[in-house]
Amino acid sequence: MPGIDDFTRPKEWIPDVAYGFAEAVRNFGRERYLPVRRKIDEDWRKHEIVEPLLKEALVDLGINKAIWPSEYGGMDIPREVIGTFTAVMSEELGRIDSGFAVAVLCSIWPMLPIALEPHRNQRLIEEFAPKFCGDELYVGCNAMTEPQGGSDIENLDALKGRTIRTTARLEGDEWVINGHKIWPTNSGKVADLFGVVCTTDPKAGEEGFAYIYVPADAEGVSVGEPYQKAGMAADMNTDIWFENVRVPKEYRAHGPGLDAKYFREIITFGNLGTAGFSVGVIKNTYEIVKEWVDERVVAGKPLKEHSISAVNLGEIATAAEICTHVLYMAARMVDRPDLYGEPWSPKVVAKTRAVSLFCSDMAVHCTNRAMELMGSYGYSREGDLEKHWRDSKMLTLWMGGRQLDLIEITRYFFECQTL
Ligand SMILES: Cc1cc2nc3c(=O)[nH]c(=O)nc-3n(C[C@H](O)[C@H](O)[C@H](O)COP(=O)(O)OP(=O)(O)OC[C@H]3O[C@@H](n4cnc5c(N)ncnc54)[C@H](O)[C@@H]3O)c2cc1C
């Protein structure tokens, strides 16, 4: 009987370690997460349910350890499979809950500039790897978005960081940081460490772009109350203020020019994750709707046996199959810079934005189609679909949204000069 594992994954590209994690996430989903999934939306303010689950995923399953060298207790997933590993994990977690998926994977997202080959920062690995690989919950947060706009900060090729208002000033051996971030995944009381997009000089272009790590308990850091959103309640989002916050000067990821360069790799991995979450949503939508159309009888026969249902069912299955293909091709592209270009190149950023855009649009499309088939049952909490329907919209909105995706894709492929 066909199921989600019959949509084609490129088996020869996926490392055993990713299959091992995938199986663990599936078990965790079945036994721990899915029994409480319907309650997650009520937990947006306190995370009484979410926090222990986050610990299970990041600490007990070991997802927090994935990128760190083994001498610090990390899994040291090899650079040449890290994209594929990300695809598997984001897909499996997204199938359970895309809001939870983003909370889990955003923990290590800001650490990529210092943890990945070929640009490891040994000094910062020594400082932070033991915290991510320990027995206590330790969570990262990538703080980019500011009140005056998120997209412009991520639109690095056009705006070169000129709109960043969070400042970093070197005083002796310390950075002094002032500014205000909004929206980051895991902000509020969740995160222990922020990767903060700052500027040392907004007029200096990419040379002024600085990526600096700030412990959440540093003096001068404060956070606001969680925002109540349409969905994605397992991801907590709040304001973060930095007021004369001092951190050692070594806490800057790399330095002038290089921070902006490797920030593009953060965008690439964000695109890959978004595509993976979308594939997970589509596959769980397929599972939910499959059960429904098998059992639901209209006009004397199961819903799936009516030719008009094939319009929606066929589209959902097509999206699950094709989005899986493009997700793993994008992952492979990230894993093989020798063949496809560096993950921080505008080419790979644009191509992964295309994959993210296509897969997230398909997630929205499929949840809509599934709801049309399930009718009022799809719209009710018990149908288990409406959460994906609400959550999936966000997959098309963050990281500059569809517009910035399309702008960066067009800029690259049409060689635009002013876009
Ligand atoms: C659940 C969730 C998780 C999030 N996680 C994070 C996180 O981990 N870290 C973080 O820093 N932020 C995070 N965000 C914030 C999110 O990434 C931003 O909201 C998003 O990038 C858009 O920024 P903005 O809201 O400031 O909109 P704006 O930047 O003001 O954009 C407004 C509109 O303009 C469009 N647009 C963008 N550029 C252009 C252009 N050049 N020309 C024309 N139109 C354009 C956009 O697509 C959008 O439709 C998260 C938000 C949510 C809801």
Let me know whether 195 and 310 are in one domain. Answer: no
- Asked if residue 419 belongs to a domain, the reply is no
- Say how many C-beta atoms besides its own lie within 10 A of residue 100's C-beta: 25
- Asked if residue 318 belongs to a domain, the reply is yes
Evaluate the CA torsion angle 318, 320, 321, 327 in order and state its sign.
Answer: positive
Whether residue 83 contacts residue 13, with contact meaning beta carbons closer than 8 Å, is answered with no
Where does ligand 1 bind, in terms of residues with CB under 6 Å? 106, 142-145, 149-151, 155, 183-185, 229, 232, 235, 237, 394, 398-404, 407
Residue whose CB lies within 8 A of the most ligand 1 atoms, among 198, 227, 398, 411, for a mutation test = 398
Let me know whether 62 and 9 are in one domain. Answer: yes
What is the domain extent for residue 119? 4-138
Question: Which domain-ending residue is among 206, 224, 256?
Answer: 256
- Asked if residue 57 belongs to a domain, the reply is yes
Number of structural domains found in the chain? 3
Let me know whether 100 and 159 are in one domain. Answer: no
Cα of 398 from ligand 1 centre, angstroms: 5
Whether residue 54 contacts residue 137, with contact meaning beta carbons closer than 8 Å, is answered with yes
Largest alpha-carbon pair distance within the chain? 79
Cα of 14 from ligand 1 centre, angstroms: 32
CATH of the domain at 44: 1.10.540.10
Rounded Cα gap, residues 399 and 9, in angstroms: 26
Rounded Cα gap, residues 177 and 63, in angstroms: 30
Give, for all 419 residues of the chain, the pLDDT tens digit: 899 999 999 999 999 999 999 999 999 999 999 999 999 999 999 999 999 999 999 999 999 999 999 999 999 999 999 999 999 999 999 999 999 999 999 999 999 999 999 999 999 999 999 999 999 999 999 999 999 999 999 999 999 999 999 999 999 999 999 999 999 999 989 999 999 999 999 999 999 999 999 999 999 999 999 999 999 999 999 999 999 999 999 999 999 999 999 999 999 999 999 999 999 999 999 999 999 999 999 999 999 999 999 999 999 999 999 999 999 999 999 999 999 999 999 999 999 999 999 999 999 999 999 999 999 999 999 999 999 999 999 999 999 999 999 999 999 999 999 99
Which residue in this structure is represented by tokens 């969905």? 231
Let me know whether 10 and 133 are in one domain. Answer: yes
Question: Which domain-ending residue is among 96, 111, 138?
Answer: 138
CA 339, chain centre distance (Å): 25
CATH of the domain at 173: 2.40.110.10
242-292 tens-digit pLDDT? 999 999 999 999 999 999 999 999 999 999 999 999 999 999 999 999 999
Residue nearest to atom 7 of ligand 1 (CA): 184
Let me know whether 211 and 339 are in one domain. Answer: no
